[in-house]
């Protein structure tokens, strides 16, 4: 598995999903609000908002939370104005890292991200120092027992998916950003549940990390992910299953 898949697997296996549900909802609310602010509150006419609402539904966020976030984004309800900031940098073993944040205090966020990177053997890079190594993709995950593989493959490919692979107990479906919503809608229409549905950044090539740096990389990812202003963390690390098991 590539870095993005391994990190998603680690977070689930550590039980962070349930423990961090409050933080997950906060991230989704921020994304919904800023999407509504930038493109309007009409879900059908705003692709970014539609994707954010889809992610919220996949996470079982209550409708009232979604509606409130949209109204705050459009200014119909009072709320905090968030700014999007993307950081690029490097971690142990020469891995590339992208950290997407939403903040109401830029100086605080810059200081926190720089501190975490420095503490865990990394450093900030300049704009586009590593972004060129990643491509934007839609990633949807479906429980393995939801449908037989051939039928599921037919549904998602017909809707415009690029690929589907079995990853542990789930199917990981990859799409372009443009066909992400079409595939999500096709799954919904077929009453197929999704574990997660989000737009992501996928590395085009991975960096193999040796045993000495594996724990350092995973601790860095964990620390960046735990920052209050962090929305997403992406990396191109490739760690062996044996070294991954030591961290879980």
Burial 220-246 (b: 16+ CB within 10 A, else e): bbbbbbebebbbbbbbbbbbeeebbee
Please write the tens of the pLDDT for every residue from 153-171: 999 999 999 999 988 788 9
Which token pair is 204? 């085009």
**Tens-digit pLDDT profile for residues 108-128:** 999 999 999 999 999 999 999
- Structural domains in the chain (count): 3
The model's pTM: 0.83
The domain that holds 215 is classified in CATH as: 3.30.70.980
32 and 44: one domain?
A: yes
Average pLDDT of the chain?
A: 88
3-state secondary structure 100-131: EEEECCHHHHHHHHHHHHHHCCCEECCCCCCH
Mark whether 140 and 243 lie in a shared domain. Answer: no
Report how far residue 46's alpha carbon sits from residue 40's, in angstroms, rounded to the nearest whole number: 7
Q: Is 78 contained in some domain?
A: no
Checking if the pLDDT of 94 tops 90, the result is: yes
Do 113 and 126 share a structural domain?
yes
Task: Measure the N-to-C terminal CA separation of the chain; round to a whole number of Å.
Answer: 16
Higher pLDDT, residue 149 or 17: 149
């Amino acid at each position: 598995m590539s870095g993005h898949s391994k990190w998603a697997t680690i977070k689930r296996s550590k039980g962070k999903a349930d423990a961090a549900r409050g933080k997950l909802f906060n991230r989704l609310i921020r994304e919904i609000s800023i999407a509504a602010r930038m493109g309007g509150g009409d879900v059908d006419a705003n692709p970014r908002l539609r994707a954010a609402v889809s992610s919220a539904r996949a996470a079982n966020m209550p409708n009232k939370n979604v509606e409130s976030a949209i109204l705050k984004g459009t200014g119909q309800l009072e709320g905090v104005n968030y700014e999007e900031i993307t950081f690029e940098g490097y971690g142990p073993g020469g891995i590339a890292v992208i950290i997407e944040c939403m903040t109401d205090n830029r100086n605080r966020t810059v200081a926190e991200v720089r501190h975490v990177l420095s503490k865990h053997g990394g450093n900030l890079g300049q704009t586009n120092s590593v972004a060129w190594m990643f491509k934007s993709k839609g990633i949807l995950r479906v429980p393995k027992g939801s449908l037989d593989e051939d039928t599921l493959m037919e549904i998602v490919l017909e809707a415009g998916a690029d690929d589907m692979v079995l990853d542990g107990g789930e199917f990981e479906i990859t799409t372009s950003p443009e066909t992400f919503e079409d595939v999500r809608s096709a799954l919904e229409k077929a009453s197929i549940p999704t574990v997660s549905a989000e737009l992501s950044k996928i590395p085009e090539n991975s960096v193999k990390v040796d045993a000495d740096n594996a724990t350092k990389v995973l601790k860095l990812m964990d620390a960046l992910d735990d920052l209050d202003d962090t929305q997403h963390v992406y990396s191109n690390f490739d760690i062996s299953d044996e070294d991954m098991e030591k961290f879980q």
